[in-house]
A and B are shown apart, each in its own frame.
Chain A
Amino acid sequence: MTFDLNLTLSDLLLMLPELWVTLWICVVLCMDFLMPRMSQRAIAGLSVAGLGVALGFLLWYYADGTNGVLFKGMFVLDRLALFFKILVVGASLLVILSSIDYVGRFSFFKSEYYFLVMMAALGMMFMSSANDLLSVFVTVEFSTFGFYVLVAYLRDDLRSSEAGLKFFILGVFAAALLAYGTSLVYGETGTFIFPTIAQGTADMTPGLVVGWLMIFAALGFKIGTVPLHSWIPDTYQGAPTPITAFLSIAPKAAAFAILLRMFFSTLAAFKPQWVWLMIGTAMLSMLYGNIVAIAQRNIKRLLAYSGIAQIGNILIGMAAGTRMGADSVLFYLLTYLFANLGAFAVVIAFSQATNSDEIEDYSGLNRRSPFLAFTMLIFLLSLAGVPPLAGFIGKIYLFVAAIKEGLYALIVVGLISIVISLYYYLVVVKKMYISEPADPTPIKVSGWLQSVIYVGLAGTLILGIWPQWFMTQIVLATDLFAHLGPAPVVTLLP
Chain B
Amino acid sequence: MTESYLLGVILFAPFVGAAVLATPWVSNRHPLLVRQLAAFFSGISFIGSFILLFAFDWQKGGYQFQEKYVWSEQLGIQFYIGVDGIGVPMVLASSILLFAGVFISWHIKDRIKEFYAFLLILAGATIGVYVSLDLFFLYFFYEMSVIPMYPLLGIWGSHTKGYLETTNAEEWERPDAPRFILNFARNSKEYAAMKLTLFLSAGAIAALLGILLIYKASGLNTFEIPVLAEKAHISGTLATIIWLLCFFGFASIAPLWPLHSWSPVGHAAAPAATSMLHAGVLMKLGHFSIIRTCFQILPDTTHDLMPIAAILCILNILYGGYVAYYSNDTKYVIGYSSSSHMGYVFLGMAALDYISLTGAVLYMFAHALATGMLFAMAGWVYDQTHTRDIPSLGGLVAKMPFVAGCFLVACMASVGMPGTVNFVAEVMIVLGSWSKYPVQTVIAVLGIVLTMAYLFRMMRGVFYGQLSELGHHAHDAEALVDRVPLLIMIFSSVMFGLLPGRMLDVIRSGVNPILARIVEVAPVVTQTGTGLLP
Contacts and interface: CB of A to CB of B under 8 A. Distances in A.
Nearest to B22: A374
A468 B73 contact: yes
Given A416-B205, A422-B198, A400 B215 contact: yes
Interface stretch (B206-214, B410-418, B466-474, B498-506): B206-214
A412 B209 CA distance: 7
B154 A430 contact: yes
Nearest to A422: B201
Contacts of B75: 396-397, 400, 471
A426 B194 CA distance: 8
A471 B76 CA distance: 12
Given A294-B178, A468-B72, A426 B197 contact: yes
A332 to B, nearest CB: 13
Contacts of A468: 70-73
B208 A431 contact: no
A466 B70 CA distance: 10
B147 interface: yes
Contacts of A406: 216
A431 B73 CA distance: 40
A419 B215 CA distance: 22
A46 to B, nearest CB: 32
Contact of A403 (B178, B205, B212): B212
A396 B88 CA distance: 29
Contacts of B73: 468, 471-472
Given A387-B141, A403-B212, A431-B176, A426 B150 contact: yes
Interface residues of A, number: 41
A472 B74 CA distance: 8
A269 interface: no
B198 A419 contact: yes
A484 interface: no
Given A431-B176, A468-B73, A419 B147 contact: no
Interface in A401-453: 403-404, 406, 411-412, 415-416, 418-419, 422-423, 426-427, 429-431, 433-434
Contacts of A392: 140, 143
A167 to B, nearest CB: 30
A324 B215 contact: no
Contacts of A388: 140, 144
Contacts, number: 91
A403 B150 contact: no
B155 A434 contact: yes
Chain B interface main SS type:
helix
B68 to A, nearest CB: 14
Nearest to A434: B154
Contact of B212 (A399, A422, A429): A399
B190 interface: yes
Nearest to A377: B151
B114 interface: yes
B151 A429 contact: yes
A436 to B, nearest CB: 11
B111 interface: yes
A123 to B, nearest CB: 32
A400 B24 CA distance: 38
A255 B136 CA distance: 32
Interface in B170-203: 176, 178, 181, 190, 193-194, 197-198, 201-202
Most chain B CB atoms below 10 A, which of A374, A387, A404: A387
Interface in B121-158: 136, 139-141, 143-144, 147, 150-151, 154-155
Contacts of A466: 71
Contacts of B24: 371
Contact of B74 (A327, A386, A422, A427): A327
A324 B141 CA distance: 25
Contacts of B141: 387
A475 B74 CA distance: 8
A324 B198 contact: no
Interface string A446-471: 00000000000000000000111001
Contacts of B216: 403-404, 406
A381 interface: yes
Given A400-B212, A423-B198, A471-B73, A418 B205 contact: yes
Given A393-B72, A419-B205, A471-B73, 20 more contacts: A327-B74, A371-B24, A386-B147, A403-B212, A406-B216, A411-B212, A412-B209, A415-B209, A418-B205, A419-B198, A419-B201, A419-B202, A426-B150, A427-B176, A434-B155, A434-B190, A467-B71, A467-B72, A468-B71, A475-B74
The 4 A-B residue pairs with the shortest CB-CB distance in the complex, in nearest-first order: A415-B205, A434-B154, A387-B140, A387-B144
5 contacts: A392-B143, A399-B208, A415-B205, A434-B151, A434-B154
